[in-house]
Structures are given as C-alpha cells and as structure tokens.
Amino acid sequence: MKEVLSSAGYDVLEAPHGRDAVRMLQDTKVDLFITDLIRPEQEGIETVQILHRQYTQIKIIAMSGQFSNLLPAAQHLGADATLVKPFTPDELLHTVEAVMGNAGRDVGDRPTA
C-alpha cells in the first residue's frame, strides 16, 4: 500500500499497530487514516472509534479480508469507506481519491495518507 500511495504522490506514514498510530496523531497532522480491522494491541474497530471521536477531521478507510463481515460495523462507527482484501492498487487509489475528493487533482495537491 505504501508504494502504491507514494507513487501516486501521497506522503505516507506507517505504524506497527493502532495504538502507536493514534499516539502519532498527537504530533502529526494527517488527512487520511487507513487501518486493518485485525491489528495487534488495538483492534481496528477500536481505532476507528477513537479517531471518529477525537480526530473528526481525519478521513478513515477500514479494510479487512477474513473478517470482512466487520466492515459495515466499522463504517457505522465512523469509517468513511471500506475495502475488502485482497484489493487491487487501482481499487485502493480509487477509494482514497473518492474519500479525499481528489479525483482530477494534480499529484502535488494530494494530502498526506
């Protein structure tokens, strides 16, 4: 994902799990947060809830494969979009652009993902 988004002109930050990612947000402004629903130390559903409650300006994309039945719950709890794994690079970019409203923008205008 990082390679696909970076190649499309997005600045990408990574965190090993949701708890670290949420901590990073205290010092770093991001426009988009992408999380898997099954994560070590802090499940993606919990991360979505925290982001939706504490960082209302951040757009959220939740993804899952084996537990894709949880994606509607993630959307109900605040995710702006969901992706079922496996997904193609084009599906990822289309979803990011739809959530961020970037369709047709120049690469230099794209926010941090």
What's the pLDDT score for residue 67? Answer: 81
The whole model's pTM is what?
Answer: 0.86
Per-residue pLDDT of 4-15, as tens digits, reads 999 999 999 998
Q: Output the CA–CA distances (angstroms, integers) from residue 4 to 10, 43, 81, 93, 113, in the order listed.
A: 9, 24, 18, 8, 11
Q: Is 58 a member of any domain?
A: yes
What is the mean predicted confidence (pLDDT) over 72-93? 96
Q: How many domains does the chain have?
A: 1
CA angle 50/56/59 to nearest 5° reads: 90
What is the distance between the terminal CA atoms of the chain, rounded to a whole angstrom?
10
Q: Is 18 a member of any domain?
A: yes
Q: Is 106 a member of any domain?
A: no
